[in-house]
Amino acid sequence: MKLPYGYFIDGDGKISINDAQASNVKLIFQNYLSGDSFSKIAATLADNKITSPSGKGDWSCGTIDRILSNKKYITHIISMEQFFEVQFEKATRSSVDHDTGKRKATRYNSQNVLSGLLICTECGASYRRITPASGNVVWRCASRVEHGKNICQGSPSVLESEIIPYICKLLDIDEFELQAVKTHLETISIGSDASMNPEFVEQLMPMQF
C-alpha cells in the first residue's frame, strides 16, 4: 500500500502520522491560503532543504496541487475548515471566469482533454485554449489571459501542434488517445521557458483511517 505523504505504517502495522512530513503539509496549506502560488510554495520548500515525496530536492507544482487536494489529510493533519478553504481558493484562482462568474471547463471535459491538464508553473492556474485569427491554436495561462501581467508575468503561450506530439512521445503512443492521457497523466506544468514537466497519475490503494 502506498500512503500519501505525511503517513507511514508503524511497527504494529497501523497507519500513523509522520510528524515532520505533517508539518510540511500544514506549511503548504498555510502558504497557499496566504496567497502563495504552487511555484512559490515549491521554491520555499526547496530553499528550506525539504525533500519532496519522491525524495528529490525539488518540488513540482503537480505534487503541491495533489497535496492540497487530498482529503486524506482532513482531521488527521488539516482541519476540515482549512481543507475546504483551500478548495474554494483553488476554484477562485483557476476555475471561475472572473468576467462571467461561471465555472470554466473542468479537467478532461468532453470538448478537449487538455483542459485542466496544463498548469502554469508561475501562478498555478490552468491553461486555456485560444484560437487566434491566424488559426494556429495556442494554450495560454488563464490568469494571464484574464488579468494580464498583474497576476502572472512570465507564462508563455504554447502551440497545440507542439503539445500533442510531446504527449504522444511521452506516453509512447502513435496517436493522441483520450483514455491514455486520463489514465497516465495528472498534470503538465508549463515553465516560464516553455518547458513541459509532466506529473504522472499515482495509483493509490483505498485507505482506512
Q: Are 18 and 10 in contact (CB under 8 A)?
A: no
Mean pLDDT over 113-118 rounds to 78
Answer yes or no: is 110 within a domain.
no
Residue 1: per-residue pLDDT:
57
Residue 112: per-residue pLDDT:
62
- Smallest Cα–Cα separation from 118: which of 190, 65, 41, 60? 190
Residue 185: per-residue pLDDT:
87
Please check whether residues 43 and 78 belong to one and the same domain.
yes
Answer yes or no: is 101 within a domain.
no
Answer yes or no: is 107 within a domain.
no
Cα 7 to Cα 77: distance, rounded to the nearest angstrom: 10
Mean pLDDT over 135-159 rounds to 83
Lowest mean pLDDT among 11-20, 24-33, 145-154: 145-154
Residue 92: per-residue pLDDT:
67
Final residue in a domain of this structure, among 61, 94, 127? 94
Cα 152 to Cα 145: distance, rounded to the nearest angstrom: 9
Please check whether residues 89 and 24 belong to one and the same domain.
yes
Answer yes or no: is 79 within a domain.
yes
Answer yes or no: is 159 within a domain.
yes
Residue 174: per-residue pLDDT:
85
Strand ranges in 45-203 using DSSP code E only, listed in sequence order: 118-120, 127-130, 138-141, 158-159, 185-190, 196-200
- Smallest Cα–Cα separation from 79: which of 34, 35, 32, 26? 26
Answer yes or no: is 170 within a domain.
yes
Please check whether residues 68 and 141 belong to one and the same domain.
no
62: alpha, beta or left, given left = phi > 0 and alpha = psi -120 to 50? Answer: alpha
Q: Which domain holds residue 162?
A: 118-199
Please check whether residues 126 and 81 belong to one and the same domain.
no
DSSP symbol at 102: P
Beta-carbon count within 10 A of 150 CB:
9
Cα 196 to Cα 102: distance, rounded to the nearest angstrom: 28
Q: Is 78 exposed, middle or buried, given 0-12, 13-18 or 19+ CB atoms closer than 10 A? A: buried
- Smallest Cα–Cα separation from 160: which of 115, 192, 197, 120? 115
Q: How long is the chain?
A: 209
Please check whether residues 84 and 13 belong to one and the same domain.
yes
CATH number at residue 42: 3.90.1750.20
Please check whether residues 88 and 122 belong to one and the same domain.
no
Residue 102: per-residue pLDDT:
47
127-130/185-190 β-pairing? unpaired
Final residue in a domain of this structure, among 45, 60, 94? 94
Number of domains in the chain: 2
Answer yes or no: is 2 within a domain.
no
Instruction: Provide the 3-class DSSP secondary structure of residue 44.
Output: helix
pLDDT in tens, 150-195: 778 888 999 988 998 999 999 988 888 877 888 888 889 999 899 9
Please check whether residues 71 and 132 belong to one and the same domain.
no
Residue 136: per-residue pLDDT:
81
